[in-house]
Amino acid sequence: MTAVGAAAARGSATLTIGDVLAHLKVDFPDLTISKIRFLEQEGLVAPERTPSGYRKFSAGDVSRLKYVLAQQRDHYLPLRVIKDQLDAIDRGLVPSGSSAGPRVPHVSIAAIEDNAPTAEHFRPAQAALRLSRDELLNAAGLRSEQLTELEQFGLITAKPGGHYDDDALSVGKIVADLARFGLEGRHLRAFRTAAEREVGLFSQVVGPMSRQRGGEARARAEETVRELAAASVRLHAALVQIGLREVIGS
């Protein structure tokens, strides 16, 4: 393992300026210690300093220097422009070689956008299931006492005649997955409350539309509420992702 590889594995600043020079000279034969010091003076890299004043570079510092040197060699960019590019990278942006400036990347939240339900997912099922209690328990993987608790808290409701439909099966399967982590019906009441509040908000939006006469207005209201539902799921997922990032980072 090279000195740079070892530093990356440790995640610390342990490389001397000589180590950095030896590593970068492979791609940049004309590089000198004086050039590395100059780039530091210009603010393009900021290695740590020991109490006695010696520079200690991290693997990240080496990558930064490599970027600077490559931009100079391959694109003949002045240090001012390269510094702006590094600032963009530090802020999580993608540097641009044009006057348009840096652009916002496709961040991780895009995975939610790519896989989240669309308005089409909220169309009513054409053929509804009619499941007995035992059929629902077996299909969803629930225990009888779990289903009873879910009914008590209003997360699942039997239809007139005592049968259960597609909605009950969907909720039951999700609850069964959550139960593996110790979550019970009483923990999930907040989900039902939040969903009811969202539905109420959406009703306010589409209410005037749905009260208009004609099938076209009704169809427009139905499509609007489906789009609102899909957007709300994406927002919920994004907020959960942000919150989890803070929890894991704490």
Kindly report the pTM of this predicted structure.
0.53
Contact yes or no for 166/130 (Cβ under 8 A): no
What is the number of alpha carbons within 13 Å of residue 10 lying toward its C-beta?
A: 14
Rounded distance, CA 85 to CA 96, Å? Answer: 7
Token pair for 188: 């999930």
Question: Residue 77: what are its φ and ψ, rounded to 5°?
Answer: -80, 140
- Report the 10 Å Cβ neighbour count for 77: 17
Rounded distance, CA 245 to CA 39, Å? Answer: 35
CATH class of the structural domain 3-90: mainly alpha
Q: Closest Cα partner for 47 from 75, 18, 89?
A: 18
- Residue spans per domain, the chain: 3-90, 115-249
Please write the tens of the pLDDT for every residue from 113-166. 666 677 777 776 665 788 999 999 999 999 999 999 999 999 999 999 899 998
Contact yes or no for 21/33 (Cβ under 8 A): yes
Contact yes or no for 24/31 (Cβ under 8 A): yes
> How high is the pLDDT of residue 105?
57
Please write the tens of the pLDDT for every residue from 178-228. 999 999 888 898 888 988 999 899 888 888 877 777 778 888 888 888 888
DSSP three-state, residue 131? strand
Side chain identity at residue 29, one-letter code: P
Rounded distance, CA 195 to CA 198, Å? Answer: 5
- Report the 10 Å Cβ neighbour count for 136: 20
Q: Phi-psi category of 92—alpha, beta or left, where left has phi over 0 and alpha has psi -120 to 50?
A: left
Query: Confidence class of residue 1 from pLDDT cuts 50, 70 and 90?
Result: very low
Query: Confidence class of residue 104 from pLDDT cuts 50, 70 and 90?
Result: low
Token pair for 211: 């009260």
Rounded distance, CA 198 to CA 204, Å? Answer: 10
